[in-house]
Structure 1
Amino acid sequence: MIKQVIFFSFVFAFSVSNAQTKSYKMVQKHQLKAEYCELDQLNNLYIVKKGEVLKLDADGVELNRFSDKRIGEAVLLDVSNPMKVLLYSPDQMMLYTLDSRLGELSERINWFESGYEQISLVATSHSNGMWLYDPINFVLIRLNEKLEEQTRSLSLSQLFRQELNPTDLIEVNNKVYLTDPNHGVMEFDVFGNYLRKIPIKEIDRLVVNDNRLFYSENQKLEAFNLYDGSIERVEIPIDEQETFAANRNRVLITRQGDVFIYQALR
């Protein structure tokens, strides 16, 4: 295990010194007073405002809107599957499942009423399942499409011998990623077994696409290749207060409520 950690750290350091650069061009700007945004694989934009989620097409034209003042301001939006969007209000412990038109697909789920004391994170999983993070017991939980519990990880607090405060969760390519800004990004398999820790800290929201983990560093975006550990520098300026999203060919920046869209140059 020690050899693996040393080797991985060496690869990471070598990759940083040999980082590749990818250029982008700003193609759109929208004044939307957005709190934060998401971007799906079809280049649709999802704008989160207080009590609202707006869906815009690739040209910035509004397609659909979901409104519910009860969801509050601090919401999580998972657009990994554009046909089944997850909107979660941790404060209310309420999960909304939305279709491609932002209509409600099924009944809302109150996790407290479902027997969970607290659920802080929710994410889409394969086969119409979903992942939950229980911050009371420090465990990852996977539910199947019938909301039956299939997998429960070991206590992460006991595993790492430290208290964790994860801020985001995502499943990509049969891997599960959980980030704690103070400790780094933890990678698990789809059975909740811990695999490794990615040595990049201060990542609040997980943006993973095309096997790349995006993050901001020194007011620039960078992308860490999850397969080989190489680093790709993204020529887009970004401040610490700004949020971003990315897919295979676009990067979206939320800057003082305005939304800037950048297209990759080939």
Structure 2
Amino acid sequence: MKCLPLKFFIFILLQSHFIFAQYVLSDSIALKGSHFSHLQSNAIGDVFLIADDQQLLKIDQHKKLKTYPLKKLVSQLDTHLSLRTAVGYNFQEIEFLDDQLNPIQDRIYFNQYQIYPSAVIIADSQLLWYFDPIEQRLIQWNYQLKTTISKSNMLFFKDGDTTITDIYAIKNSIFLKSQNWMYEYDVFGNFKSEIPLKPHLKHVFRDDFIHLLDEQNLTSINLLTKNISTMDNFFNGKDFTMSNDQLFVIKNKGLYIYTRIKK
């Protein structure tokens, strides 16, 4: 891992006109590999991504790199618990790593328990939520005791939606993301509301928001107030994630770090 060449760094600054939408390009890190995916961050500013489907990379706040070898295809990274990272493989099994990327318990093989989820989120050291596409329900499961805690009401999809692709939990609400809509439930599994989503290429959940990226814009929806704001897609990256006051972007085999300008 090393800094990108200064001339190239300056070129990118000029291309971005230095400041857009209250962000400034503050750093960059060269990455080894030809393909990067599953870019994620956690609340303390660590960044995670998969390189060439073979390695999990973690770059901490001090630019220190840790790696973890992968032998199976990663279908999901869950990093919202800062000291625990969940790695999902082929939607069939899940592995838990500590903040040093060391496994901390045996892998869970969902099929052993007749579970076939389309999306999973870890709630804490014992509980997770998953969506069952057969029952069409949100289910809370104790992954230590291997027991079902609760099931939601059946979900009825809006037009254009076919399955749940992501789950996010915040402040006693569970949000199920599909292709064109999000469906909000409370922690008891009762349906609360629907939120329409504009067409997008990538989405990121962070704090109270879902951020939707398309070719022209980055749209932010406050999940609690439903307020919507939009800014230009000034960084033109292939992948992005956000953490507090930072924006992380993958492009040109580098990780570019933008910092929000505080007024």
Seen in structure 2, the aligned counterparts of structure 1 residues 206 and 151 have a Cα distance that, compared at 3 Å, is farther
Seen in structure 2, the aligned counterparts of structure 1 residues 163 and 215 have a Cα distance that, compared at 3 Å, is closer
Seen in structure 2, the aligned counterparts of structure 1 residues 166 and 209 have a Cα distance that, compared at 3 Å, is same
Say if 1:23 and 1:235, in contact at 8 Å, map to a contact too: no
Higher RCO (CA-CA < 8 Å; seq separation 6+) = 1
Cα shift at 1:217: 4.3
* Percent identity between the two aligned chains: 20
Aligned to 1:138: 136
Paired with 1:173 and 1:204, the residues of 2 have a C-alpha distance of: 27
Aligned to 2:64: 61
Aligned to 1:243: 239
Paired with 2:63 and 2:117, the residues of 1 have a C-alpha distance of: 33
Aligned to 1:198: 195
5+ residue gaps, structure 2, are 1-19
Say if 2:117 and 2:132, in contact at 8 Å, map to a contact too: yes
Say if 1:168 and 1:206, in contact at 8 Å, map to a contact too: no
Secondary structure class of the residue paired with 1:77:
strand
Paired with 2:100 and 2:190, the residues of 1 have a C-alpha distance of: 35
Deviations 1:51-98 (A, max 9, x none): 321111124320x222121x21x420011102121110135x010011
Say if 1:24 and 1:262, in contact at 8 Å, map to a contact too: yes
Aligned with 1:225 (options 200, 222, 228):
222
Deviations 1:171-193 (A, max 9, x none): 12221111111x31111111222
5+ residue gaps, structure 1, are 1-20
Say if 2:120 and 2:129, in contact at 8 Å, map to a contact too: yes
One-letter identity of the residue aligned with 1:58: Q
1:129 and 2:127 aligned: yes
Aligned to 1:30: 29
How many matched pairs?
238
Aligned to 1:15: none
Return the TM-score normalized by structure 2: 0.80
Seen in structure 2, the aligned counterparts of structure 1 residues 204 and 77 have a Cα distance that, compared at 3 Å, is farther
Deviations 1:153-186 (A, max 9, x none): 22214x75886222211212221111111x3111
Say if 1:24 and 1:236, in contact at 8 Å, map to a contact too: no
Paired with 2:193 and 2:79, the residues of 1 have a C-alpha distance of: 25
- The range that moved more, 107-116 or 141-150, is 141-150
Aligned with 2:211 (options 210, 214, 218):
214
Seen in structure 2, the aligned counterparts of structure 1 residues 172 and 128 have a Cα distance that, compared at 3 Å, is farther
